[in-house]
Structure 1
């Protein structure tokens, strides 16, 4: 089915559903009218007809609501004519009251639809701005397969203070994930600043420590202009910078106060690497020597899972933290997109849909892509390969399951 046909179907479905629901007020009018006719003369049910237009306004627009309102007035007149009381004061007052109340209901319906259109336009603009700010990552970046996921804690929002970005440099891919302290528009502003600075600086600096120092200088300039007096030292960003060369089975990492990622090896084990993190961005460390560089093995078939602390700080209704590492140990054989889909469903089920903080996730898998003159499987002696902090056995049942 083409896109045009899909749009036509999408437009028809609300129209068809509203016309099916229209049977409810029509049936209500018939029941009230018949009951008014068969009941004794001292029992008057005609004023109850106003329920029909009020009910119609719940699912239909002003035109359909006004039509039902006019029908109730005509039905009330028919009942009065049948009883020979059409020109009596009671019947005329009842018809006038139905007309006035139907008009009020239609006016509320018009105002509601106008507000809906305004809200739809505002949401469209907000979504466009958010998509411009937080670009979706490509599914392929050289020999890497990527997938990303963002869950905003605030309703009607798609982004907040969490961020991620990727850039393709000569013979390597660079990726950043970060978390701005705070929430709301100030956090979004800092996230926008850092994303723009990364997209520009990722191509200008040879090493990750130099890149981290450049991002620190950008944050420092921003805070100098926009930080309030009472917030000195309270605004910062935890960030995780990584570089994955095409022709070396390693990954280079510079951590600025961000949680360590999870690494899935060929044996489907989950490893939490031991890193040497520097303080977060925004504390004034503008010298590249202030930022360490960690190098880890990352061969074909390995998967790296980056995340923000909204995942590990999520709680269930009893207050228990989400056992992130134990949960993902069940899905280490999944591709990046399927892995994030599993995590999303499991996290929402665990928390009941209520997140206290934004969640950002990036899954990166190295795939074996033959390149002329390159051997992705050759032995590499990285400068430093830290021992793992802990290894989680995927065969062990996850906590809370």
Structure 2
């Protein structure tokens, strides 16, 4: 408005810069409140009247200019009210989403049995902070049981399915004697809920308390990455690939459990496809195996945070898919980790 006033004083009434004073209240409605918008509008009107008198502007042109400024000010005030209302609604939605996330994806224990645990979750729904990826760690009588999965699709339906899977897993992990029993309970719960071609990829794992082995069941999910204490890396691929959870009707029967050694100092990273399928500006996938050195920090949470930041830097923009990572680090059984 100051610039318009200077231009009008410099050029005179012939060019007619005065209507541009309406830009002031129009822009004020984008960031300020209704009081600030009205104040800017009144200021624009005062400037318009003063400049009109200074330039001896004919009454018709002066009235049209001030009417335009008054109209824009009124519209801007109404727009400010609507913007503030939407901001409050968005804040409420975010608050509800955060509560839903805490219920759906409860904080995993930092220590489970002789394991240290860290988790990272990045949602493609930036405003909601929740999506279809899921994870859980449960300390059962036979050991530590874990699930990491990915629900087909996004949005509220994916969140609902994830909640169903997690609820069934939390109950079955305590009751069933082995992972096959846990997965059967999950399949049964999903068959009651899903229809058509909906499915959930998932990997289930059990860390034995008394043995240095880990048992896994993989339902069409990316193979976990194992980092040995000596620095070797391997992907815990299943011997045979089977359909995801929810597609049991397609056959074959569920996956056979397979075991790998998991000794003190070893780490295993569970993740969803949003990690390995993340692309940079050139379309290159995230090279997870090449980023293993980032996981060597003594603190698992710091190590996983370094990996998450590197993933975000690789994408260099908003994520297009949910990305969940769960890091398990083995320590000596009975070792005091406090």
Between the aligned partners of 1:45 and 1:211, the Cα distance in structure 2 is: 75
The answer to whether the 8 Å contact 2:12/2:55 transfers is no
1:37-48 to structure 2, matched below 5 A, reads 37-48=9-20
Counterpart residue number, 1:315 = 279
Between the aligned partners of 1:44 and 1:354, the Cα distance in structure 2 is: 45
Between the aligned partners of 1:32 and 1:278, the Cα distance in structure 2 is: 70
The answer to whether the 8 Å contact 1:193/1:219 transfers is yes
Q: Does 1:331 align with 2:294?
A: yes
C-alpha spacing 1:311/1:89, structure 2 compared with 1 (3 Å) = closer
Unmatched 5+ stretches in structure 1: 1-27, 373-401
1:258 aligned counterpart, secondary structure: coil
Between the aligned partners of 1:355 and 1:75, the Cα distance in structure 2 is: 48
The answer to whether the 8 Å contact 2:114/2:334 transfers is no
1:78 to 18, 35, 50: 50
Larger displacement relative to structure 2 (32-41 or 172-181) = 32-41
Give the Å deviation of 1:89: 4.2
* 1:77-109 alpha-carbon deviations (Å, 9 max, x no partner): 233455677x94443443333222221222222
Between the aligned partners of 1:188 and 1:205, the Cα distance in structure 2 is: 25
Structure with higher Rg: it is 1
Counterpart residue number, 2:230 = 267
TM-score (norm 2): 0.86
The answer to whether the 8 Å contact 2:215/2:259 transfers is yes
Larger displacement relative to structure 2 (88-97 or 176-185) = 88-97
Give the Å deviation of 1:176: 0.5
Counterpart residue number, 1:59 = 31
1:203 aligned counterpart, secondary structure: helix
Counterpart residue number, 2:167 = 196
Give the Å deviation of 1:237: 2.1
2:226 aligned counterpart, secondary structure: strand
1:153 aligned counterpart, secondary structure: coil
Counterpart residue number, 2:176 = 205
TM-score (norm 1): 0.74
Give the Å deviation of 1:355: 4.0
The answer to whether the 8 Å contact 1:256/1:277 transfers is no
C-alpha spacing 1:110/1:332, structure 2 compared with 1 (3 Å) = closer
The answer to whether the 8 Å contact 2:279/2:315 transfers is yes
Between the aligned partners of 2:63 and 2:295, the Cα distance in structure 1 is: 75
Larger displacement relative to structure 2 (197-206 or 98-107) = 98-107
2:221 aligned counterpart, secondary structure: coil
* 1:255-300 alpha-carbon deviations (Å, 9 max, x no partner): 2332221111111221223434563322338xxx954332322222
Counterpart residue number, 2:131 = 160
Unmatched 5+ stretches in structure 2: none
Between the aligned partners of 1:95 and 1:157, the Cα distance in structure 2 is: 44
Counterpart residue number, 2:75 = 104
- Superposition CA RMSD, Å: 2.7
C-alpha spacing 1:354/1:40, structure 2 compared with 1 (3 Å) = closer
Q: Does 1:302 align with 2:266?
A: yes
Counterpart residue number, 1:255 = 218
The answer to whether the 8 Å contact 1:235/1:282 transfers is yes
C-alpha spacing 1:243/1:62, structure 2 compared with 1 (3 Å) = same
1:53 aligned counterpart, secondary structure: helix
The answer to whether the 8 Å contact 1:236/1:281 transfers is yes
Between the aligned partners of 1:332 and 1:365, the Cα distance in structure 2 is: 10
The answer to whether the 8 Å contact 1:242/1:253 transfers is yes
C-alpha spacing 1:371/1:363, structure 2 compared with 1 (3 Å) = closer
